[in-house]
Every structure is written in structure tokens, then in C-alpha cells.
A and B are shown apart, each in its own frame.
Chain A
């Protein structure tokens, strides 16, 4: 092994750099050993073709003055960051807006402060026009690299007051707010949480484990806002009552990739008990699995399934919901609730872009994909009169409780926030004789929407 070996790239300049570009000739590389010369010639030929393709982008750097800059840089403290000095902190801020029929407008701002030593401090403050209340939260977050595991350990501590939805599994506040504001079609129920939450997460490429503890007071919110931007009277002119009480809850969770496959399994468990100082007693468990199987280069089969069970008390804010874009399209969003839920879905997606071949008037760069799907799901442990979740000893639904559907859809892949995220337009048809009818759904989601985002 050669110690202290030095090389200087000797690629010739093919084009001058652009206006004002500090580009100059490079020095000549030392001649390679004779046995390697053919390889070096071959590599150089390919490099020359790269130079030609990229033009002045590939030109070598002008080395004039770099030696003196390096000498000066080495004299500075190792902790200084270049001639502009060390960056001490970063500051971000932005609006924090929301809308729902309980709070009305949530108007405010959020800010975060990042420092090398204090990590990230964040805060949010909002005023609600419906309940005339102040919402706010302050948090601190930090993460550490765990090299032996190729993982990262993150810790977040936060305290404050905020509004959230009953549906603990699938709630997207931004799109839900837009739906409530523009169409009044928000079908979530809301509650208030006041208190502390701390989360510790160890994440790696193959999966993560997570634990969190929260000590929060949960309370109901009134129905205050009967208008939306283009009309009056939202689809649900009420807000369900949440069970009032202090919740001290421990969360344990994990997710892993099944070895040798592209399937992931996610397991979450929430437990609260009077012995922990909580006013409630329940054990909530959710298992989700999903992945994709390629059928050649153009078709992808995406199976996914989720199972949830609530044991002990059944506060409505901890029930499992069925219906809507989160799972069964032919039911309205959160139409059914219960102490247990099972749902599975199978998508067959043509991954090729079909917009251009079909001459559809959509932006050329947005890939339009097409697919068909079938889904089936059930909830159990529900009061047939009130529709609320009630305690059950059953761990699985009866066969006649399953509701099934098939459908087809178009997916306009936007790539935001994840590369797989698509704007989906789907038409679903119920299977079986019941009061459901054909339904369409608009959603912004990934094909594997049942699995939580990583």
C-alpha cells in the first residue's frame, strides 16, 4: 500500500467556464504503471466523453490562490467554519393555520431555533376563532448517531395544548383543514389534549423502534363553526363528545422490513392504566403489513392489511374507524367505529406513464398511472344503536361483518412529500347487497397508505 500517495487529475479543459467562472488549466497527472495504462486510457476515454457532454460544468477548478487560502484556513481554529465564521444558530418560522368545525379558524405562527449545542427548539401559538382559545406547544428535539447500528436515536419532548382527531391512525391535518374550509366535508371528530409528551425513537434503514410517554388531559370540544368558505352547514353539524380524563399512556412500537422482501410490518401498542395514574384503562394494539410485488417491469401488485383491537374501556377517541380514503372507499369517512377493525386491500398498478400515450391534457412531466383494486374490511365491538365502540371479547369479526369493494383509479404521481405520493382519483363499487353505493374518492396518498410514513 502506498502511503501518502497524491494524485492530481489531469483532465484537459474542453471549454472555458461560463461568465466569471474561476476555471483554469489543470496540471498533468503522473504516468500510470505500464500494466495499468490500457485501463487508464479506457477510463480517460469515458471521462472525455463526460467532459464533452457536460461542457464547462466538467472543467477543472482554477487552483490559483488556493494554497494561500489553505494556509490561512489551517491557521484558524478547527471549529471555525470558513471565512464567514462559525454558524451559531438557524431560525425558521412560518404561519400555523388550521380549520375545523370545533375550533373554527386556528390562526397563529410556528417557529424553530436550531443550535449545535441546544439542538432544535420549536414552538407554536394559535388563536381559535370558534372556541376563543389559545393553543400552543413548545418542544425540544435532538438526535444522536449510533454508528455500531447504523442508526439514529432521536428524542423529542413537548408540552402544550392542541386539538387532534379521534382517529388516531389516519389523520392528516393539512388536507383535512382544506377539505373542511372549502367543502365542509370534514368527517373527523375532535378533542383537546393538554399536557406533556416525550418520544424516543431509534431508526435505521431496515426499521425502527419507538417508545413514548404522554401525560395529557383529554376533553371534548363543542361544535362552534357551522360555515365553510363556499357554503353553510358542514356535512356533520356536530362534534362527538370525547371521554374526559387524564391519560397517562405508554406507547411501544416497532417496524421492520421482512428480510429478503419489500414488505414491512408495523406493530404499535398503547397502554394506559389507573396504576399509572390514568383515569382510563385500555390496551390498544395495531398491526399493519404491506409491500409490493413486481409482475414484470410494468405491473406492480401492492397488498396491505391492518388489524386493530381495543381492550378494556373504549373511549371514543381511541376507537378504530372504517370508511373513506383511509380504507374502505364505499363507506363515508369514519362512518363505522368499533373496538376492533380488520381491513385488507390489494392494488394492481400499471407503473408506466399513460398520460402521454393517451394524449391527456395534463402536465407532461407528471406521470399518470392507472390501477385497479379490491378491498375488504370490518369493524366489530360496536353498539348497533349509537354506533359507538363498546367493549368486546371477540378478537376477529364475523364473516357477515365484512364489507367488500372493487374499483379502479388514476394516480397522478406528484412526488411530494414522498416520491410515491400520488393524487389519486378512484371509483369504487360495493360487493354485496347492502345500502352502500358506488363512490368516488380523491386522495393524496402513497400506494401503501396503511403503513405509517417512515
Chain B
């Protein structure tokens, strides 16, 4: 690509326009000075200033390589995610599960419960979770903590990140390319996805950022057109899934969700946040099997209960 040739002059030197050229900033300054109270300025409100004096000429570049199609990108993302999974033999990380109440109250989100665990996983189906700390704003008298309970799946597949791109789910979503961005030698695609079924107004839609160097998802923002459970959950306002780099791998680092209940719960509020953060990853460090003795595959999917319910003896 030839170098850009910006124009040297901010204002073209054309006879007879000098007054206009000076008048423009003066008028702009006048517009920025607040009008006296009670006297609305003409055209009250923001003014859009349009720069029309700077131009850049970019010569045509003949591109011989075919543009990567959306379908190909989706295929490669699925393959990239599968490759990522296949290269992982074991992992350990510190997981923090957090529930914040009154998320939109005057004091901001208030910590309701938090559990910090160290999680060890090893293929094919070994998992061990060591609880490091548990905090509850209002602990139960018996010392049990049913309000939030975490069990991790032995899988390292991170379905919460790539659910829409999995081959078995792809037919359920409609994809489109929203943006491309070149960052160094990384081309980042922003892909939007939405449920293909109009009936599934409660299913997630959103956008993902894909690093096409490895075709892995680095970030995901999810939204819901309608609540999946309108009777209890008014809406899911914002949901973000983030990945972070751990050595050669992109790994799940945060899941943040803000939800609003239909009916406010006393001492909990209406809006609440749920956050799951994973940090301090160690990957493929050949964890010994003895670490997992008798714990093969006993973990279910990540399970979080809020508000208690069942009593355990």
C-alpha cells in the first residue's frame, strides 16, 4: 500500500474565503459559550461539526487471495476450539464465584456470597476442587453454605465460550461478520450470532471476538431479547464472557452477568450480579493421578445455587 498523502493545508488558500475561514472558529466558540439563562440559543442542542477539508487518497490494491467466507471462519473457529481442547492434558486454576446483591442500588453492588476454590482437571475425566475460602454476608447458623455451591466439570472444553460455534449447535444460530480489525499480526473478527428460530426469543444472541491467528474466541458479549423465565427473571441485562492468555492457550478468565428479578427479594434486592473468575492457570503440568484419587468424573457441570432450598444432612 503506498504511503498516505495528507493535505498540508488545513484551510485552502482561496481568495475571498479568508473571512469565512476566520468566522468559522469564532462561530464555533460562540456556540460553545453557554447562553444566558432563559435565553435558548438558536438550534438548541449539540451541533455536529463535519470535517470536510482533510482527504486521503489510497490507491487500489489488487488482492489475489479469495476473501475468507463466513462459513469458513465458522469452520475454522470450530476446528481452532477443538484443537485447543485437544492440546490440553491437564489444568489447574483458582476459581472465584461471587454473587453481588443490590447491583443497581445507591451503594453499588454489595458482596452477598463468595467462594474461592482451586480446581484441578486432568483428562479424561478427573477433577478435584479444593475450597479455599467461603464468605457469606448472612451465614447460616449451622455453618452450612447451601446458598452457593460449585461443582466443576472435568471437561476443559469451555462450552460457555464456544456453545454457538460447536458443530452440533451451529445450525441453531445465524452468524454475520460485524467488524475486522488488524492488530499487529493478529486479524480480529467480530462475529454476531443470533438464534435462527424466531420462536426462541429467550435464547442468547451476541457477538464474539475471534483471533484468526489461531481461530480462538477471545471475548464474548451475550444478550437476551426476552427473559428465559419471565415469571421470575425480569431480564438479563448484560453478560460478558472473557478469555485470557495462559502461555500458548486462551483460557476462560471471567463470566459476568447482571440479572434483574421480577419481584425484589428482601435483603437481596432486585438486580444482582453473578461473577465467575478464573485465574492463576497452570496448564499441562502433568498433574499426578494421586491428586484425584477416587474422584473420577464425580463433578457435574458447573452448578451454582443461589438462595438455598434443599437441606442436607
CA distance A339 to B129 in the complex (A): 56
Interface membership of A453, Cβ < 8 A: no
Count of A-B residue pairs with CB < 8 Å: 257
Chain B residues with CB under 8 A of A90 = 310-313
Residue-wise, chain B 221-237 has the 8 Å CB interface mask toward A (1 for contact) of 00000111111111100
CA A413 to CA B228, docked complex, whole Å? 9
Q: Does any Cβ of B come within 8 Å of A82's Cβ?
A: yes
Interface flags for A291-323 (1: CB within 8 Å of B; 0: not) read: 010111111101000000000000000000000
Residues of the B chain whose Cβ atoms lie less than 8 Å from the Cβ of A37: 184
List residues of A (66-122) whose CB comes within 8 Å of B's CBs. Answer: 66, 69-70, 73-74, 76-79, 81-84, 87-92, 116
Q: Interface digits, B200-244 against A, CB 8 Å rule (1 contact, 0 not)? A: 011000000101000000110000001111111111001010101
Chain A, interface size category, equals: 35 or more
B43 CB-CB contact with A under 8 Å: no
**B133 and A65 contacting across the interface, CB-CB below 8 Å:** yes
The distance from the CB of B166 to the nearest CB of chain A, in whole angstroms, is: 10
CA distance A19 to B106 in the complex (A): 13
Whether a CB of chain B sits under 8 angstroms from the CB of A358 is no
- Say whether B143 faces chain A, with CB atoms less than 8 Å apart: yes
Partner of A2, one of B107, B234, B242, B247: B247
Closest to A302 in B: B199
- On whether the beta carbons of B295 and A3 are closer than 8 Å, the reply is no
Whether B230 pairs with A91 at a CB distance below 8 angstroms is: no
Name which of B3-11, B19-27, B52-60, B111-119 contacts chain A: B111-119
Let me know if A57 and B109 touch, CB within 8 A: yes
A window 20-70: CB within 8 A of B: 20-23, 26, 32, 35-43, 46-47, 50, 53-58, 60-61, 65-66, 69-70
> Is A8 on the interface with B (CB-CB < 8 A)?
yes
Of B98, B111, B117, B188, which one neighbours A42 at CB under 8 angstroms? B188
**Mask: chain B, 151-189; 1 = CB below 8 Å from A; 0 = not:** 000000000000000001001100000000101111010
Give which listed residue, A36, A47, A56, A365, contacts B186 with CB less than 8 A. A36
Nearest-CB distance from B291 to chain A (Å)? 7
Question: Which residues of chain B have C-beta atoms less than 8 A from A147's C-beta?
Answer: 124-125
Checking B197, B233, B291, B295 against A294 with a beta-carbon cut-off of 8 angstroms, the contacting residue is: B197
**A5 CB-CB contact with B under 8 Å:** yes
Q: Cα distance A297–B103 when bound, in Å?
A: 32
Task: Flag whether B303 is at the interface (Cβ < 8 A).
Answer: no
Are B242 and A47 in contact, CB atoms less than 8 angstroms apart?
Answer: yes
Asked whether A420 and B199 contact (CB < 8 A) given A4-B284, A260-B171, the answer is yes
Residues in B neighbouring A65, C-beta threshold 8 A: 132-133
- Measured CB to CB, the residues of A under 8 A from B are 1-9, 15, 17-23, 26, 32, 35-43, 46-47, 50, 53-58, 60-61, 65-66, 69-70, 73-74, 76-79, 81-84, 87-92, 116, 145, 147, 205-206, 260, 262, 292, 294-300, 302, 349, 351-353, 363, 365-367, 413-416, 419-420, 447
